[in-house]
Every structure is written in C-alpha cells, then in structure tokens.
A and B are shown apart, each in its own frame.
Chain A
Amino acid sequence: MIANETIEKAAYDVMTKAAIDIPEDYLNGIKGMVDMEKGDLSAFVLKAMIDNWEAATEDRRPMCADTGLPRYFIKVGNEAKFDGGFVGFERALRSATARATHDVPLRPNRVHPLWRHDHNNNVGLNAPEVEWSFEPDADWIDITTVHKGGLFGTDYRMLFPGDGIDGIKRFFLDTLIAFGKRGLACQPAIVGVGLGGSKDICMVLGKQAACLRPVGDKNPDPKVAELEDELKELGNNIGMGAMGFVGSSMCVDVHVECGFTHTGGMPMSVHTFCLSSRRATARIHADGSIEYRTDPKWFTPYMRRETIGWDSQEAASSKSA
C-alpha cells in the first residue's frame, strides 16, 4: 500500500527537479543545435542558455523565473494500491505544489482570470491540472510534472480531409512563424503536434506530444515518424533561430500524436515546449521506494491502443511482427 506521504514527497521532488534540472535528452539536443547554428546572435543565445542551465544546477535555482503553469500527468498501474483513494491522491498533489512553490521557489503564476487574485502557491480553481492515465499489469504509480509557460506558441485549427499533409505542413509553419518572432515561443523547443480527436483532445494530444516524449523518440507508426522528420526539417528551414534572430534553431524535435476524429474534419494543434524543457518523473513502486527519471514513458502501447480490448501478449506479438 503506497502512503499519501510518499505520493506527496514524490510530487514535491519532481516539482523541484523539473524547475532546476534540464533533462539530458533535451540538453544534448540543444548542444547539437549550437554546433550547427550559423547565425551569430542565435548561437550566442543558445550558449547563454547552456551557461544558464549550468548556473541553475550549481546554485539549485530555477532555470527560468517563469516557472509556468505547473501540472501533473499521473499514470496509475491497474494493480497499484494507495491510501486515501483518488481524492487523497489529488490532495497530496495540490499540497506538494503549494509547498514547492514556496520552497524552490516557483513563481506564483496562477491567478483568477477575472479578479486576478493570487494565492501565491499555484493552487486554485482547476489548478494545478491533473491528467490521469492507466497502465495494465503494473503495480507502480508514475508522477510526472511539467512546468510549461502558457501564453505563446500554441495554436489550433480545424483543417479538413481535403487539406491533407500539405495543410498540416502549412499550419505547422504558420504557427512557428507567428509565434517564433522575437522568440515569444522560446525556440528552439520540442514541438508537439496533435492530429485528430475532438477539439479538446486534439489540444491535449499536442501538449502531451511536446511535453512527455524525450528528444529522439519516434512515433511507432513509420509514416507518422516520417511526418515528424519532415516537419522538423521544415521548421529548421524557416530561417529563424533562437529569439527569432536569423538562424536555423527552431525545432529540437517534432513529435506527432494522433487520435481518431470526425470523418469530416482534421483538427490539428501545435505546441512548442519551452527553451527550458521542464519535465521530471517519479515512479513509486509498490514497496514505497521512489525512482526518479526524465523520460515519462507516457505513450505506452496501451495508451496508443486501437482495438476494443487489451491483451499485452497480443500487443507484444503484433509489435514484433
């Protein structure tokens, strides 16, 4: 039985780690881009970012003062047992957010949209968001947090089947160009694309594609993986680098996630994660031990299942076939 205190500790720790420690996959991706960047200002910005991440690690202070809108992605093993039920779980997450906001410190960004009052702890109406998912044949719980800014770099459009792949590419470019000017989207970043689903799920898929898959990860569908490569090349050929200065550093990686959608539509969302890609995951094992990592392993075969039922044996054999 996993205790509430363990959940709160893991959640508090990932809030801290996400704010301060750059995920290695992302850091290596940026270093690769510095080597290729020809624009002098864009290259200067990227080198300054690397200095900044080193300073953050040494000083144990946040990489960016805009610590975004903290949120959680929780994957619960179907066999996991924990105290207090899901209500207790959410309470632990909210408490961890408030404590981490004071201790790290995170910037208290969450305010009421109309009255603008601020609890100074990032907890409020519908905040922090908690997204739940489940994993068969597992007795652990994965707690992932992402500190993503909220103002720029994200857009949605209802395309139509007739727009096809060209329409997807056009909207991808439209979004990166519109938000990449003056670096409002804080590129280079991992760019997530959501294709299909309903409008709201399209946004969710795109955000998860940006924030929950490490650099270098490919969609298991080879044709979708090919589209990911094409979009990345297209983005890096806009002629725009870090902060919108002339250059080539736009996409560290592009991840696409799909959901079955309405037969008449092709909804699409684009999300740029930030230049300090802030994510951290803790796995709580059944015995209460906690293991930390930077790869959320969110999009499991179960998450991408297409059939009515779920049989892990069947999935394993179809994957190897």
Chain B
Amino acid sequence: MGQSGSGLKQVSLNLPAKPEDIAALELGSVVYLNGVVYTAREGVYQKVIGEGQPLPVDLTGLSNVNFHCSPAAAQTDDGGYRIGGVTATASFRFSKWMKQWLELTGTKIVIGKGGMPSEDYKKTLAPMGAVYLTTVGYGTGALLGRGIKGVRDVFWIDELGIAQAMWLFDVENFGPFIVDSDLAGNSLFAQHGEQVNANIDQLYEGLKPPALHRYGETGDRTDEVM
C-alpha cells in the first residue's frame, strides 16, 4: 500500500522491537510493524502514574510499542470488539508522563500524531533507547485498521470508555508510520519546521503591519512550544 514509486526507505519491524533494529531507524524512513502494540493516553497515564495503580498486564516480552491512539470501535453481540479504523491523537500533551512511563514499561517505540517536543527526544526518549514514529496524514484510519488482526485484550474500558481504554492489538503489516526521532535525539518535524520558518518572513513582506500590536501578533518564532 502506497509503497510503489516512493523514494523513501521502507522498514518492516517485528515486535517487541530489538535494540539494534531501533538503532538502525533513520529519520524519514517508512515503517510497518508486526506483533503486539498497546494503547495508552491521558486516561491510562493518569491511572498508573497519577494514581499509582498497577499495570493491568505485564508488558515485558509482549510489547514495547505505545500507540497514542483511540480506535473507532464497537462491542459485538458476542462480547468481542470490532475495530473500524484507528488513528493517533496528538502526542505533545503527554510529555509530562513520558519519562516515568518508559521506565515503568520498557517501551521503546512511541507512536502518535505530531511528534513530541525536540527536548523530549533529547532528554527522555533517546537516552532510554526509545524513538518516536508518527502516523501518516493522521487520517489513514482505514489502512491502519486493516493492519489490526485482532484485539488481544482491553483494560479499563468501563471506566475510561472506548477512546481512552488500554487496548492490546495484534498487528500485521501495520502502517505506514514515519520515523520522526532517532537515538541521537534528532527530530524530523523540527528540521522541516526550521526550513519552513526560513521562508516565512518573505511571505509577510509587503503586507502592512497590523493596526494594533496586540498579544499574539509577534513575528518571533524562536520560542514555539512545538
């Protein structure tokens, strides 16, 4: 799917991912995954880190991939689950939990939408041997849905709802994802953002300045959150 004609490097990883496989990932490569992937976002982080509840499952040897995801899913009459599509939610808001979460779970691949601040890669993910992959276009819910072969388990669904529950998915050829960070702590998004910023002054040239200089109307882009 979508692989033909692209000049980008393609990688297929078996999970749990091995340290040498992770070390070999290059910024901008396209990745497909096989094995078990789990989801955790604010509801799960709050329970485990905020409230100190134990992990509902031992992830060791099972999965080291945390997908910031909420599925479009529904319960079936036999008590199972039907997964329509899955896509990611914006990861930058999970920064405050990442360090403890990686320590607690041994997670080595974080997948989500939009990447995390470059600081997080340098200070948290890379030193712990972890990288970040971004989903593609963010709307590739049907392609990713195809890669989910089954629901292995789901936890806290009654309390957290379908969107926030912790899901364990069996996946095959699950992707595409793009490598946003490597073990040197580099960020593909940050690199592209800097290139775009270099053009922006030109765009505003010739447009007269605003009538009033209110908060928020700064041209300074050196201190952006993302």
Contact = CB atoms under 8 A, between A and B. Distances in A.
B138 to A, nearest CB: 5
B8 interface: yes
B211 to A, nearest CB: 4
Interface stretch (B13-21, B58-66, B95-103, B188-196): B188-196
A67 B72 contact: yes
Contact of A48 (B82, B176, B216, B224): B176
Contacts of B1: 48, 51, 55
Contacts, number: 202
B196 A239 contact: yes
B141 to A, nearest CB: 4
A82 to B, nearest CB: 30
Contacts of A174: 217
Contact of A184 (B74, B90, B176, B196): B90
Nearest to B189: A182
Contacts of A181: 189, 193, 196, 224, 226
B3 to A, nearest CB: 9
B139 A186 contact: yes
Contacts of B74: 101-103, 105
A40 B7 contact: yes
A59 interface: yes
A159 interface: yes
Interface stretch (A89-97, A165-173, A213-221, A306-314): A165-173
A80 B196 CA distance: 52
Contacts of A61: 72, 84-85, 141-142, 145
A183 B161 contact: no
Interface residues of A, number: 68
Interface in B159-197: 161-163, 176, 178, 188-189, 192-193, 195-196
B212 interface: yes
B6 A44 contact: yes
Given A66-B89, A111-B161, A177 B200 contact: yes
Chain B interface size range: 35 or more
A151 interface: yes
A63 B141 contact: yes
Contacts of A44: 2, 6, 8, 30, 136, 178
Nearest to B199: A239
B144 interface: yes
A41 B200 contact: no
Contact of B211 (A41, A47, A159, A169): A159
B203 A243 contact: no
A176 to B, nearest CB: 10
Interface string A32-49: 000000001100111111
Interface-centre pick from B86, B207, B217 (highest chain A CB count, 10 A): B207
A183 B89 CA distance: 12
Given A56-B142, A61-B141, A157-B216, 15 more contacts: A44-B6, A45-B137, A46-B137, A48-B1, A48-B140, A52-B140, A62-B85, A65-B145, A67-B72, A108-B163, A166-B208, A167-B210, A183-B137, A239-B195, A274-B139
